[in-house]
Every structure is written in structure tokens, then in C-alpha cells.
Amino acid sequence: MKVLHVHRIGGIGGSERHLLTLLPALAERSVEVSFLGLDDPRRAPDPFYEALSVPFERLSAPRDLDPLLARRVRSATRRADIVHTHLVHADVYGAIGARRLISTKHNDDPFRAGPFRVVERALAHRAARIIAITDALARFQIERVGLPREKLEVIHYGLDDVPRAWGANPPDPVPADGRVMVCVCRLEPQKGVDVAIRALAGVPDAYLVVLGEGPQRAELEQLARDLGVQVYLPGRVPDVAAWLRRADLLVHPVRWEGFGLALLEAMLASLPVVATRVSSIPEIVADGESGLLVPPDDPAALASALNRVLADPGGYGDRGRARARAEFSVAKMADQTLAVYQTALERTGPRV
């Protein structure tokens, strides 16, 4: 079975990290798996390929719409038994020449339920199967986008360990004995870092460390200065696990979320989680068991939950680790994905 995965690459976010875990696991199951990257040169695609362990081809994709790119992708995809696409650009270009198309939906971006849903429905008609990474995302695709229920499968992300370091973290200004709340995300409105900074004003003697980069950096730094709170924004760091070991808890104040691999990483590190009760998060973090969930955009509620966990972490961390290992393993994810491929091969003819 030859399976080609297609994704636009401009850095390493949740969907890219998912692929770095899934693709070698599929190769271990005798799938002839390869990767076609549509590179966004305005960002930083190279680190993804440095970490990728399966054969790959790279195509430059500086524009959203590019007829020449469409022809090149069509040529590459026709050699595969199954083309498995991830996110919008790959869905559109990958559908053109695929014999059998599998599409994974990674997030519930609001634009998908607007006028773009017409495109989503057309792509769904072309697909043999559609994978949603959570039950919440599957409901979003069915109820708000209008995708066919009978084509959808739910396969959670899988993770077996915290991220491996690719270097040593630089020195930082956070005291070694400080109360540290870590947040692992991009600096953009979806992730709600501004809410965490506002909540920090109600959490005495605590430091918020946000691991990630993005367009909101200057705005968030100014907000922290205005509120007089202790926020450290080191950007993308080489050793995320070191910060997870150092932190007292993970805060994940997102406004919506596809999955949130940072939640699994924290749980595998036995770290308590305080997150918002949105999208898929209640499927991952069991409220009152592996952490606490609060409403989005509510700094007061977030501050209250942070203070509760800092005062009494209880067994949140240990229970979170047990839940992550039991429910979200790489083997489970890979086996379920392979079953989707086998179903697509059995149910479709030479072309769908």
C-alpha cells in the first residue's frame, strides 16, 4: 500500500508534530509511506524536514492559488494508492489527482463554517473517508460545515512521550524557585495568551512562561507591562520538556482548539492542566481528574482555577499521565489510521 501524505509546511505546529509521530508509526506497519510538502517560504519549513524520517518531496508554495503548483501536485499524487491530505491547501491541491483521497480535519476554524463550507463540501464529496481528530471536531464538521456523517471517522492524536530536546535552552530570568505556569502555543488570538496574562494579575508571585512565537508578541509584551505581571516569552525553545519539568502547571487558555498536543505533553510529564472548556479539550483533560476546565475569555475564572491548583496540585499530574498513556497512544492512532486506509481500498474502485 503506497500512501502519500500532503501538507503545507511553514513551521512545526500541532498538525506537523502529529505527522512526525504518525508517519514513522505507519511505516513500521508495512505501509509504504511518503510525504509531499508544500513549502511556505515566508516561514520556517526546514526544521520539519530535519525531523522527518520517511521519504519526502518538497514543492515551493508561496501563494494560496497557483496553477503550476496544482499540476506538480497532481503529478506527484497519481503515483499513490491513497493520498492523505492535511489542512486546506493540501486538501485542495491533493484532491486534483488522487485516486483515493483521505482528508484529516485538524481544527474548527470559524471560517470553515462560513462561505468556505461550499469548498469543504465539494472536497468531502471527492474524499473516500474523512478523519476528524476529536469527537467535537466531527460534530463541528457535520453540524456546522455540513459534511456527510457516513464518511467521518474520529481518530485522536497519539503521543507516547514528551518532546525530545534538540539543544539546550538559553539562560532565562525566571527564578529557580519561582511559581511557574507554562503555556505552549503560538502567539495569536486563538490561543488566548492575553487572557492568561490578565489572569496572572490575580495569581500572586507567579511567572507565566509562553513557549512559542507569533504575530501577537509585541501586543502581549505591552499588556504584561501595563498590568505589571511577570511574563517571559522565550519563543520557540529547543527543550520544551525541561520547562514542563520545571513548571507547576500547564495553562491552556484557548478560544477554540483542534486538539492541543501541548495538553498531552503536559499530562505525560505528570503536570496538572488548567484549560478552557472549549472544542475538544474536555475529551482530553478530564475536569477535576487530570486538571481543571474554565470558560473561555474569563480571566477571573482562570485565575481562580490557577490558584486552586497551585495551592493543592493533588493527584492531577499522576492521573493525567495515566489517562494519556491509556487513551492517546501512538499505537492506537496508527492502527486506527491503517484501518481507515484498508476500508478505503476495499470500498473504492480504481478511482473515487
**pLDDT tens for each residue of 90-106:** 999 999 989 999 999 99
Question: pLDDT-based confidence at 319, cuts 50/70/90?
Answer: very high
Is the Cβ–Cβ distance between 153 and 340 less than 8 Å?
yes
Q: Give residue-wise pLDDT tens across range 221-247.
A: 999 999 999 999 999 899 999 999 999
Per residue in 159-176, pLDDT (tens digit) is 999 988 888 999 999 998
For 28-38, the pLDDT digits (tens) are 999 999 999 99
* Confidence at residue 108, expressed as pLDDT on a 0 to 100 scale: 83
Determine what percent of the chain is predicted with pLDDT higher than 70: 99
Instruction: State the SS3 of the chain.
Output: CEEEEEEEECCCCHHHHHHHHHHHHHHHCCCEEEEEEEECCCCCCHHHHHHCCCCEEEEECCCCCCHHHHHHHHHHHCCCCEEEEEHHHHHHHHCCCCCCEEEEECCCCHHHHCCCHHHHHHHHHHCCEEEECCHHHHHHHHHHHCCCHHHEEECCCCCCCCCCCCCCCCCCCCCCCCEEEEEECCCCHHHCHHHHHHHHCCCCCEEEEEECCCCCHHHHHHHHHHHCCEEEEEECCCCHHHHHHHCCEEEECCCCCCCCHHHHHHHHCCCCEEEECCCCHHHHCCECCCEEEECCCCHHHHHHHHHHHHHCCCCHHHHHHHHHHHHCCHHHHHHHHHHHHHHHHHHCCCCC
**What pLDDT, on a 0 to 100 scale, did the predictor assign at position 111?**
84
Which is more confident, 185 or 43? 185
The residue-averaged pLDDT of 10-25 equals 91
**If you average pLDDT over residues 207-219, what whole number do you get?**
96
Q: What is residue 348's predicted lDDT score, i.e. its pLDDT?
A: 66
User: Would you say residue 352 has pLDDT above 60?
Assistant: no
Q: Is pLDDT at 14 greater than 90 in this prediction?
A: no
Mean pLDDT of the chain: 94
Q: Give the residue-averaged pLDDT of 174-195.
A: 95
CA angle 122, 123, 128 (to 5 degrees): 120
Confidence of residue 143 (pLDDT cuts 50, 70, 90): very high
| pLDDT (0 to 100) of residue 12 | 83
pLDDT at residue 313 is higher than 60: yes
Percent of the chain with pLDDT over 90: 85
Distance CA 212, CA 224 (A): 16
Q: What are the two backbone dihedrals, phi and then psi, of residue 25, each rounded to the nearest 5 degrees?
A: -65, -35
Q: Is the pLDDT of residue 110 over 90?
A: no
Average pLDDT over residues 127-132: 96
pLDDT in tens, 65-94: 899 999 999 999 988 999 999 999 999 999
Residue 351 has pLDDT above 50, yes or no: no
pLDDT(152) > 60? yes
Q: How confident is the model at residue 304 (pLDDT cuts 50, 70, 90)?
A: very high
The answer, yes or no, to whether residue 56 has pLDDT greater than 90, is yes
Walk me through the domains of the chain, giving residue ranges and CATH numbers. 2-158+329-347 (3.40.50.2000), 179-327 (3.40.50.2000)
